[in-house]
Structure 1
């Protein structure tokens, strides 16, 4: 009798596994290793196609999407962060009851105001949409005639001043609302007279960026606030990824910010598509007027009742957590990664943690002149295309550096991550 080829046998096994998987999902199975007679046993060859690890989540397997190990931090492109279970449970509860969104937005704003110690707050559809709403608020206010005109801003105060070193891809969000960006200073410095000279009758606001690896040799937020406020101009702040530390939820308003945007789906670990805006009450009221569910520019940036409740729940859990213990856990993981790589020749490996660039303790890898291995680009590419795919932090870092951020790496993934890093770093071009 003719023996089937290896390819044929693998194909048959794959089809058997696919059929079993479909039946499992229909039965709402939650484990690849059934222990109950009520759940069908998988085909004997199932291990060829599914590994009993967190990287093979059945819901993603269903749609043929490969889970990754995200060691790049709370990057939206790689999933942001793991939403808190408390938030998910709250979202499920919220989904079963209908409410007036205006009432919910108002009550949510009161919670945010209390936590941020600011006059008012609002739940946005992520930090980037928060920038659009910031611009809409300072350009059109809560005037429905002006709000309906956006993003056309002819005849309106539409200029937003920003330092050159604070320009970055997301400032397009300001322009999406019709703002004209006026850039001042150079890549290395900004003088007070440059800001003073840029303010005119068309100035709507001054924008300020807090973000890792942003130059800090320009005007500070207190300096910007003092100059802007002396001319009656509000200061809007983008601090999307700057929590933790938790003190940043209150620090920027104390430094003079009038309206702050922070992500809710990064360090806070709320729904990925959530964010918070807080600051001056008149500006937050203008944000709310321009935002969903109202039929103005922000209508497309809808925040559902489930997202609002999920975010509030995550925020309240976040502020109650022990930050020192949290940082110690990240530091432990970063140190374990560092210890596993430190003896590889041609590179320096260390744990970095500060209030500006590495707000989460991370492992920094720096290739020195004696490095004879593959290029950084080749290593990153191999990690991203391997099994499982691994993403590291490399944006904004010098050409000879890459970092491993443990924020999204659980203990099971940590062992796999270390193995993959050693495999790729020790692999030669030959």
Structure 2
């Protein structure tokens, strides 16, 4: 986190405040910053998914809120592409929802979404990102089909920053009713924070379900420190010169490439996007021998100070690794380079 974010959290920790008022004021400010109708701070992106589904389920009605998690009058389904199933979608169960899948790993048709929407459907959850199978229907098509049947669309955009435009693109431009983001990834906010943006009525309904009310989602409480930190982080993020940031990342990756390109047994290549398809360049180091690749990863893992890399795992075997510059501070790219080079040398 930046010094500004840490300072905001430190200041908030020294204050006492009405949490209802803070949530409302924070939401208004974040809505302005993200060019959305409304916004709400949560304790993470998974928490935002739970609150989004609860909001859709009870629309903020107190009688519906306090009756949960009792037996529902009818099944409560969220439609998802098979290609969009991720480990995090288990959060939907906390809101009492079950998942109805459409399509398969190779294709999805519009009629499948149309047929899946029934009287039991509460919402459609859409998970963008090129790291998922590219056979899902486009978001605008999903929105059109769902809205024609009175069904809201929620976008899980946890790792879909940058670009900064995604803060408003999914909702304002493409028509999704809610989009949720992690506060602690690209935004640079507190790790235990999330951002929900979208329709005013649904955001307010989500707020009615959460802390400081003594309701089901009180367990997903977010503190005043995280709220202050996230506001500062979002304000900082939207004001960044993202082109300059990208150029700095690219220079780092190019420098790494120059250092590794002649390393025996290693194939270095620059990739323009990260694992989630976002415009964050990274370096791939391919190691054809899985046994050696595993040794390299073990040596890196044992480094002090410790360096974390993303293993390239295929068929249960390591085939190299990726280096990403996104969170590194001044001087750290060189340290990462030295640790990886040393680990490769030790693996011979």
> Which interval holds the TM-score relative to the shorter structure?
over 0.9
Task: Measure how far apart 1:413 and its partner are.
Answer: 2.1
More displaced stretch, 208-217 vs 160-169: 208-217
Offset at residue 349 of structure 1 (A): 1.3
Gaps of 5+ in 2: none
Partner of 2:133: 215
Q: Is the 8 A contact 1:373 1:425 kept in 2?
A: no
Match of 1:426 in 2: 345
Q: Is the 8 A contact 1:127 1:274 kept in 2?
A: yes
8 A Cα contact 2:162 2:278, kept in partner: no
Which one of the candidate residues 289, 301, 305 is aligned to 1:384? 301
Shift of 1:145: 2.3
Unpaired runs of at least 5, structure 1: 1-82
Conserved 8 A contact 1:153-1:178: no
Match of residue 352 from structure 1: 271
Q: 1:283 corresponds to which residue?
A: 202
Q: CA deviation at 1:223?
A: 0.9
Query: What is the 5 A alignment of 1:301-340?
Result: 301-340=220-259
Aligned to 1:28: none
* RMSD (Å) for aligned C-alpha atoms: 1.9
Is the CA contact 1:163–1:183 (under 8 Å) kept in the aligned structure 2?
yes
Q: Is the contact between residue 206 and residue 234 of structure 1 (CA under 8 Å) also seen in structure 2?
A: yes
- TM-score, structure 1 length as denominator? 0.76
Partner of 1:160: 78
Verify the 8 A CA contact 1:157 1:204 in the aligned structure 2. Answer: no
Superposition deviation, residue 198 in structure 1: 0.6
- After the TM superposition, which residues 119-198 of structure 1 pair with which residues of structure 2 at under 5 Å, given as runs? 119-156=37-74, 158-198=76-116
Alignment of 1:260 with 2:188, yes or no, is no
What per-residue deviation string (whole Å, max 9, x for no partner) do you get for residues 140-184 of structure 1? 221222222334452145100000111011001111111111111
CA separation of 1:348/1:293 partners in 2, compared to 1, >3 Å: closer, same or farther? same
Answer with 1 or 2: which has the greater Rg: 1
Which SS does the other structure have where 1:262 is aligned?
A: strand
| Corresponding residue of 1:89 | 7
Q: Name the SS of the counterpart of 1:390 in structure 2.
A: coil
TM (norm. structure 2) is 0.93
Note the C-alpha offset of 1:372. Answer: 4.7
Residue 289 of structure 1 and its aligned partner are, at CA, apart by 0.6
Quote the residue 2:319 is aligned against. Answer: 400
1:117 is aligned to 35
Q: Distance in 2 between matches of 1:107 and 1:113?
A: 10
2:292 & 2:131 partners in 1: Cα distance? Answer: 22
Contact 2:296 2:347 in 1 (8 A): no
1:324-379 Cα deviation digits (max 9, x unpaired) = 11111111111111111111233321222248525311112233xxx457443332
Give the corresponding residue for 1:270: 189
- Shifted more, 399-408 versus 323-332: the winner is 399-408
- Does the 8 A contact of 2:313 with 2:319 survive in 1? no
Structure 1 residues 107-156: Cα deviation after superposition (integer angstroms, max 9, x where no partner): 11111211222211101111111111111111222122222233445214
Match of 1:27 in 2: none
The whole-number CA distance in structure 2 between the counterparts of 1:97 and 1:410 is 31
Return the offset for 1:427: 2.9
Are the aligned partners of 2:82 and 2:104 in contact in 1 as well (CA < 8 Å)?
A: yes
CA–CA separation in structure 2 for the residues paired with 1:219 and 1:307: 35
Is contact 2:39-2:196 (8 Å) kept? Answer: yes
CA distance in 2 between partners of 1:373 and 1:215 (Å): 25
Going from structure 1 to structure 2, the CA distance change for 1:422 and 1:245 (only over 3 Å counts) comes to same
Aligned equivalents of 1:416, 1:365: Cα separation in 2: 17
